[in-house]
Chains A and B, each alone.
Chain A
Amino acid sequence: MASTPHSEPQIIAPGHTFATVTDKIASIVLLKKTPYGWFVGLAVGFGLLNLLLVSLAWLLIRGVGIWGLNIPIGWAFAIINFVWWIGIGHAGTLISAILLLLRQQWRMSINRFAEAMTLFAVACAGLFPIIHMGRPWVGMYWLFPYPNTMGLWPNFKSPLIWDVFAVSTYALVSLMFWFVGLIPDLATLRDRAEGRTRKWIYGVLAMGWRGSARHWHNYETAYLILAGLATPLVVSVHTVVSFDFAVATVPGWHATIFPPYFVAGAIYAGFAMVLTLAIPLRKLYGLEDFITTKHLENMGKVLLATSLIVVYGYAIEAFMAWYSGNTFERFMLWNRMFGPYGWTYWVLLLCNLATPQLMWFKRFRTSVPWLFAVAMVVNVGMWLERFVIVVTSLHRDFVPSSWGMYSPTFWDWATFLGTIGLFLTLFFLFIRLLPAISIFEMRTLLPGARIEEDEA
Chain B
Amino acid sequence: MSHDHIPAVPVTLEGVRRRPGGGAQRRYWKSLDELAETPGFLEFLHREFPEQASSFEDAKGRREFLTLMGASLALAGLTACTKQPEETIFPYVRQPEHMVPGRPLFFATAASHDGYARGILVESNEGRPTKIEGNPDHPQSLGATDVFGQAHVLGLYDPDRSGTVRHLGQERTWGAFRAALGQALEPLGEAGGAGLRILSGRMTSPTLAAQREALRAELPEAQWVSWEPADRDNVRAGATLAFGEAVEPQYRFENADVILSLEADFVSSHPASLRLVREYAARRKVDPLKPEMNRLYVVEGSPTSTGASADHRLALKSSAIEGFARAVAAGLGIGVEGGVDHPWVAPLAKDLERAGARAIVLAGETQPPAVHAIAHAINEALGAVGTTVVYTEPADAASDGTLQDLVADMNAGRVEMLVVTGANPVYAAPADLGFAEALERVPLRIHHGLYLDETAVLCQWHLPAAHPLESWSDARAACGTVSIVQPLIAPLYGGLSIHELVAAFIEGSEPKGYEIVREHWMDVLGGGEGDDFEKAWSRALHDGVVAGTAFEEKAVSVTVGDWARAPEGGPTPGLEIAFRADHGVFDGRFANLGWLQELPRPLTKLTWDNAALMSPATAQKLGGFRTVETGAGHVTDVVELRLGGRVLKAPGWILPGHPDDSVTLHLGYGRTRAGRVGDGAGSNAYALRTSQARWFGTGLEVARTGETMLMACTQDHWTIENTANQAAADRHIVRSATLDEVAADPHVFEHMGHEPKPELSMYPPHEYPGRAWGMAIDMSACVGCNACVTACQSENNVPVVGKEQVGRGREMHWIRVDRYYQGPPESPETFHQPIVCMHCEQAPCEVVCPVAATVHSEEGLNEMVYNRCVGTRYCSNNCPYKVRRFNFFLYQDWDTPTFKMMRNPEVTVRSRGVMEKCTYCVQRISRARIDSGNEGRPIRDGEIRTACEAACPAQAIVFGDVNDPESNVSKWKASPRNYGLLEELQTRPRTTYLAAVRNPNPEIPSEASSPRHHG
A63 touches B873 (CB 8 A): no
Nearest-neighbour CB distance to chain B for A76, whole angstroms, equals 9
CB closest residue in chain A, given B887: A134
Which of B724, B808, B886 is most buried by chain A, counting CB atoms within 10 A of its CB? B808
- Residue B820 at the chain A interface, CB threshold 8 Å: yes
Nearest-neighbour CB distance to chain A for B955, whole angstroms, equals 23
Stretch from B526-534, B647-655, B727-735, B1001-1009 forming part of the interface with A: B727-735
Stretch from A149-157, A267-275, A370-378 forming part of the interface with B: A149-157
- Residue B874 at the chain A interface, CB threshold 8 Å: yes
Nearest-neighbour CB distance to chain B for A104, whole angstroms, equals 38
B809 touches A72 (CB 8 A): yes
* A407 cross-chain contacts in B, Cβ below 8 A: 630-632
Nearest-neighbour CB distance to chain A for B640, whole angstroms, equals 28
* A158 cross-chain contacts in B, Cβ below 8 A: 847-850, 874
CB closest residue in chain B, given A138: B870
B880 touches A399 (CB 8 A): yes
- Residue A69 at the chain B interface, CB threshold 8 Å: yes
Q: Determine the interface band of chain A, counting residues with CB < 8 A from chain B.
A: 35 or more
Nearest-neighbour CB distance to chain A for B815, whole angstroms, equals 13
* A428 cross-chain contacts in B, Cβ below 8 A: none
A143 touches B844 (CB 8 A): no
0/1 per residue, A122-158, Cβ < 8 Å to B?
0000000000111110110011000000001111011
Beyond A161-B850, A250-B878, whether A139 also contacts B818 by CB under 8 A is no
* A65 cross-chain contacts in B, Cβ below 8 A: 805, 808, 810, 888-889
Interface of B is mostly: loop
B882 touches A399 (CB 8 A): yes
Assembled-state Cα–Cα distance A161/B850 (Å): 6
* B874 cross-chain contacts in A, Cβ below 8 A: 74-75, 158, 160, 244, 248
B850 touches A71 (CB 8 A): no
Assembled-state Cα–Cα distance A331/B731 (Å): 10
B884 touches A71 (CB 8 A): yes
* A62 cross-chain contacts in B, Cβ below 8 A: 889
Which residues of chain A from 235 to 260 have any CB-CB distance to chain B below 8 Å in the complex? 244, 247-250
Nearest-neighbour CB distance to chain B for A428, whole angstroms, equals 33
Which residues of chain B from 280 to 333 have any CB-CB distance to chain A below 8 Å in the complex? none
Inter-chain residue pair count (beta carbon < 8 A): 185
0/1 per residue, B816-849, Cβ < 8 Å to A?
1011100000000000010100000000100111
Which residues of chain B from 890 to 911 have any CB-CB distance to chain A below 8 Å in the complex? 890
- Residue B209 at the chain A interface, CB threshold 8 Å: no
* B887 cross-chain contacts in A, Cβ below 8 A: 63, 134
0/1 per residue, A390-417, Cβ < 8 Å to B?
0000101111111111111000000000
Beyond A158-B847, A405-B629, A407-B632, whether A400 also contacts B724 by CB under 8 A is yes
- Residue A430 at the chain B interface, CB threshold 8 Å: no
CB closest residue in chain B, given A160: B850
- Within 8 Å by CB of B716, from A74, A143, A400, A406, lies A400
A327 touches B716 (CB 8 A): no
CB closest residue in chain A, given B870: A139
- Residue A38 at the chain B interface, CB threshold 8 Å: no
Assembled-state Cα–Cα distance A248/B727 (Å): 21
* B876 cross-chain contacts in A, Cβ below 8 A: 71-72, 74
- Residue B912 at the chain A interface, CB threshold 8 Å: yes
* A248 cross-chain contacts in B, Cβ below 8 A: 844, 848, 874, 877-878
- Within 8 Å by CB of B809, from A133, A244, A404, lies A404
A135 touches B727 (CB 8 A): no
* B808 cross-chain contacts in A, Cβ below 8 A: 65, 68, 70
* A396 cross-chain contacts in B, Cβ below 8 A: 727
* A327 cross-chain contacts in B, Cβ below 8 A: 727, 730-731
CB closest residue in chain B, given A161: B850
Beyond A65-B805, A70-B631, A331-B730, whether A75 also contacts B877 by CB under 8 A is yes
Assembled-state Cα–Cα distance A101/B388 (Å): 89
* B871 cross-chain contacts in A, Cβ below 8 A: 64, 133-135, 139
B715 touches A134 (CB 8 A): no
* A159 cross-chain contacts in B, Cβ below 8 A: 848
* A399 cross-chain contacts in B, Cβ below 8 A: 728, 731, 733, 818, 835, 880-882, 981-982
* A244 cross-chain contacts in B, Cβ below 8 A: 874
Assembled-state Cα–Cα distance A152/B876 (Å): 22
A71 touches B810 (CB 8 A): yes
Nearest-neighbour CB distance to chain B for A403, whole angstroms, equals 6
- Residue B444 at the chain A interface, CB threshold 8 Å: no
Which residues of chain B from 69 to 109 have any CB-CB distance to chain A below 8 Å in the complex? none
Which residues of chain B from 504 to 522 have any CB-CB distance to chain A below 8 Å in the complex? none
- Residue A328 at the chain B interface, CB threshold 8 Å: yes
Nearest-neighbour CB distance to chain B for A110, whole angstroms, equals 36
- Residue B687 at the chain A interface, CB threshold 8 Å: no
B727 touches A331 (CB 8 A): yes
CB closest residue in chain B, given A394: B877
Beyond A74-B874, A401-B819, A405-B631, whether A142 also contacts B851 by CB under 8 A is yes
Which residues of chain B from 757 to 784 have any CB-CB distance to chain A below 8 Å in the complex? none
* A404 cross-chain contacts in B, Cβ below 8 A: 631, 809
- Residue B411 at the chain A interface, CB threshold 8 Å: no
Nearest-neighbour CB distance to chain A for B357, whole angstroms, equals 41
Assembled-state Cα–Cα distance A161/B847 (Å): 11
- Residue B192 at the chain A interface, CB threshold 8 Å: no
* A400 cross-chain contacts in B, Cβ below 8 A: 716, 723-725, 727-728, 731, 733, 820
- Residue A37 at the chain B interface, CB threshold 8 Å: no
Which of A249, A250, A327, A404 is most buried by chain B, counting CB atoms within 10 A of its CB? A249
* A340 cross-chain contacts in B, Cβ below 8 A: 629
CB closest residue in chain A, given B914: A134
Beyond A63-B913, A70-B809, A407-B632, whether A397 also contacts B888 by CB under 8 A is no
Contact sample, A vs B, 13 pairs, CB 8 Å cutoff: A65-B805, A65-B808, A68-B808, A69-B886, A73-B809, A133-B913, A134-B913, A138-B870, A139-B871, A154-B851, A159-B848, A397-B880, A400-B820
Chain B residues packing against A (C-beta within 8 Å): 629-632, 715-716, 720, 723-725, 727-728, 730-731, 733, 805, 808-810, 816, 818-820, 833, 835, 844, 847-852, 868-874, 876-878, 880-882, 884-890, 912-915, 981-982, 985
Given A73-B809, A134-B871, 13 further pairs, Cβ under 8 A: A70-B631, A71-B886, A73-B631, A74-B877, A134-B870, A134-B887, A143-B870, A248-B874, A398-B982, A399-B981, A400-B724, A401-B715, A402-B881
For the complex of A and B, 4 pairs with smallest distance between CB atoms: A134-B871, A134-B913, A407-B631, A65-B888
